[in-house]
Amino acid sequence: MSVKLGINPIGWTNDCLRWLGDLVPLETCLAEAREAGFSGVELGRKFPRAAGELRPLLERHGLALVAGWYSATLLERTAQEEIAALQGHLRLHAELGAKVLVVAETTGEIINRVDRPASARPRIEGREAWRRFGEKLTALAEATLEQGVRLAYHHHMGTVVETRDDIARLLEGTGPALGLLLDTGHLVFAGGDPAALAREHAERIVHVHCKDVRRYALAACRRRDASFSEAVLLGVFTAPGDGLVDFPAVLAALSAARYRGWLVHEAEQDPRQAPPGIYAELGCSYLRQLCAGAGLRVEG
């Protein structure tokens, strides 16, 4: 069994707090990501969105395109409208060989609102609403799969799918075309157990974000009901191996399920306080060590 190690650029330039890391050049991010030992990178807000521009940039740094985030609003529009809106992003993935596209429902989300407490996040109320949502998501996932790209649903703080119960409802109401992105940090923040989720829904997991959580910061954020973005500024997230997430148990569960996708280092921090290149090296080294222990061969 083999996996690949990638990284999300949000340690260098944040996508939610759009001023955070704004002065860090994209070239610095890509060079440090490759130097740290990663073979792929996810999209960030500074990346070109035309294949003709992005391909040579990534090739120059020896990096593959892993995946990219898409903000869906299926609670407000039809599956057909969402499929049409997604086409440009989907083509970029297909042209650059990315097999997974990250999606999250963002209607009413409070991800970018520093002033909105975590408890104010939107919710889907009632079985019928969940059913309609699941049908639309399934149609969207089936449409992308026909073009060779698998949708990976990202449970995310501040959105309608955040907790373990939300994830269970999501998977129950959607077809097998929709994959699940397991994000260790977001699930721990929401009170869940990533290893247990990996064991319970192994057949749906197609992408993994390896985000760690600082215990002291998590306790403080929960006590003050901090928003997602405020929690980032307070240092709740860090590189894999630097927090409380039980990564050995997570990788053991993924290995048992014969997972063969990307493991993506993800740690949105203030680059002025947490040098992203250094944290990338720490996270990559830790993930390689864990993969060896779990019987997972790292490609690249």
Cα distances from 188 to residues 25, 42, 97, 157, 215, in angstroms, run 31, 22, 31, 10, 10
**What residues make up the domain containing 247?**
2-299
Number of domains present in the structure of the chain: 1
At 229, which CATH number? 3.20.20.150
pLDDT for 31:
98
CA pair distance 60, 41, nearest whole angstrom: 13
Helix (H) or strand (E) holding 89: helix 79-95
Phi, psi of 170 (to 5 degrees): -60, -50
Distance CA 287, CA 6 (A): 10
Binned average pLDDT, 10 residues per bin, the chain of 300 residues: 95 92 96 98 97 98 98 97 98 98 96 90 96 98 97 97 97 98 98 98 97 97 95 96 97 96 96 96 98 94
C-beta separation of 139 from 167 below 8 A: no
230-272: per-residue pLDDT in tens?
999 999 999 999 999 999 999 999 999 999 999 999 999 999 9
